[in-house]
């Protein structure tokens, strides 16, 4: 699947930082993981840290799928607001999903310290009304988050103008958030795990998976085989071909990053993560090297040719969107890109076993919370592999819909 095009900034910035090699021999392992992006890397980190032997396989070069195109705003808010999600799942399950994402941000930060990742930065997150009609919705969302124990503030137009320099009808300021370079984080996760025994092979396409009663046998394009007790599917949007029902709608999303600026940071208060209530929503963040990322302008289709043809137009529109909020900041675009974006009906990921494929588990962190959901998935999958019951597994299972 053609997952992205254009010039993803993280790939340009970091290049190919480590060498991995194609599989050239048959192997046996406890767990094989298909997918060397951030979902697979987090699963491998948790499994190898628990002393479970693992092999990661990726058909591409490591990190060159959706991971290198991620803008990596880490927020506990999922694509379906809490006040709407409770109508789908009930308030207990909805709040639990939100709290798991909040905890995931903290755990990703702790892991960053362990693996010596220097590009993880805690941030506040500001969710603001794109239109006057959204003010009532934001107040409802604020109240339910407050009731469920989230540290949030409701901001008036005057407070938004004073602190952030733009005018909006209302905003919710959350004190749980962060940002990172997902591409380098993935490489650093894998490098740390390699030292604990993980084997990583890229440019290794799995052409067949034979699910047996007590194991799984994988065949790769060059004929080598891997025998594993368990298999983890962590190849994101490309994994849907293994599922016999539609679980995700694919879209195209766009992002642009500015030139690095001489202007003294912060560009706005605390350089918080910014996103609004529009559909599709507009979002913004800064980088360590004094740039601004602006993203959004999604299209409700997945067609690589049509998607790629829109990069220039979408770049101009995103720059216009940013300048409408911050006319005093000279946003000069340097790189822009587009990629696949997926959404589920309830905004939640699919994690865990799929009955038709014995001895397999899925880590499908769809939506705007793909990275935080990947952390949640890694913990749930670890419990599955160890034969332990996980209290949250049912919330994300294939059987929930």
Strands 273-276 and 125-128: parallel
Q: What confidence score (pLDDT) does residue 4 get?
A: 54
CATH class of the domain defined by 4-69+183-247+347-400: alpha beta
- Span 11-41, pLDDT tens digits: 999 999 999 999 999 999 999 999 999 999 9
Q: Taking each helix axis from N to C terminus, what angle separates 182-194 and 38-49, rounded to the nearest 10 degrees?
A: 30
Q: How far is residue 366's CA from residue 344's CA, in Å, rounded to a whole number?
A: 7
List of the chain residues with pLDDT < 70: 1-5, 237, 301-302
One DSSP character per residue, 177-239 reads EEE--HHHHHHHHHHHHHTTT-EEE-S--EEEEEE-SS-EEEEETTS-EEEEEEEEE--GGGG
Neighbouring-strand partners of residue 340: 252
Q: Where are the domains of the chain?
A: 4-69+183-247+347-400, 122-178+249-343
Q: What confidence score (pLDDT) does residue 3 get?
A: 46
In CATH terms, 122-178+249-343 corresponds, of 3.40.190.10, 3.30.9.10, 3.30.470.20, 1.10.1740.10, to: 3.30.9.10
């Amino acid at each position: 699947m053609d997952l992205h095009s254009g010039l993803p900034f993280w790939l340009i910035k970091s290049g190919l930082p480590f060498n991995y090699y194609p599989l050239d021999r048959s192997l046996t392992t406890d767990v094989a993981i298909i997918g060397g992006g951030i979902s697979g890397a987090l699963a491998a980190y948790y499994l190898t840290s628990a002393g479970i032997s693992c092999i990661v396989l990726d058909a591409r070069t490591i990190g060159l799928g959706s991971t290198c195109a991620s803008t990596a705003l880490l927020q506990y808010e999922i694509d379906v607001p809490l006040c709407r999600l409770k109508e789908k799942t009930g308030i207990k399950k909805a709040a639990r999903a939100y709290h798991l994402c909040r905890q995931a941000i903290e755990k990703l930060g702790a892991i960053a310290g362990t693996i010596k990742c220097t590009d993880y930065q805690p941030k506040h997150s500001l969710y603001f009304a794109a239109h006057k009609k959204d003010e009532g919705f934001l107040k409802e969302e604020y109240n339910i988050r407050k009731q469920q124990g989230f540290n949030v503030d409701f901001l008036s137009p005057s407070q938004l103008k004073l602190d952030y320099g733009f005018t909006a009808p209302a905003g919710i300021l959350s004190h749980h958030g962060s940002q990172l370079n997902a591409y380098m984080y993935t490489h650093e996760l894998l490098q740390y795990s390699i030292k604990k025994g993980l084997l990583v092979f890229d440019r290794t396409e799995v052409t067949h998976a034979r699910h047996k009663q007590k194991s799984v046998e994988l065949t790769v394009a060059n004929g080598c085989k891997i025998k594993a007790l368990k298999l983890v599917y962590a190849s994101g949007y490309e994994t849907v071909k293994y599922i016999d029902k539609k679980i995700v709608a694919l879209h195209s999303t766009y992002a642009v990053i500015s030139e690095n600026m001489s202007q003294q940071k912060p560009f706005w208060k605390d350089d918080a993560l910014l996103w609004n209530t529009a559909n599709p929503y507009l979002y913004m963040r800064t980088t360590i090297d004094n740039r601004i990322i602006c993203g959004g302008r999604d299209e409700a289709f997945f067609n690589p040719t049509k998607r790629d043809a829109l990069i220039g137009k979408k770049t101009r529109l995103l720059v216009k969107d940013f300048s409408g909020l911050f006319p005093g900041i000279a946003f000069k675009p340097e790189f822009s890109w587009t990629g696949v974006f997926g959404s589920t009906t309830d905004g939640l990921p699919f994690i865990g076993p799929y009955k038709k494929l014995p001895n397999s588990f899925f880590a499908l962190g769809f939506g705007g919370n793909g990275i935080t959901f990947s952390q949640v998935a890694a913990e749930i999958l670890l419990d599955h592999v160890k034969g332990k019951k996980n209290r949250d597994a049912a919330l994300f299972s294939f059987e929930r819909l």
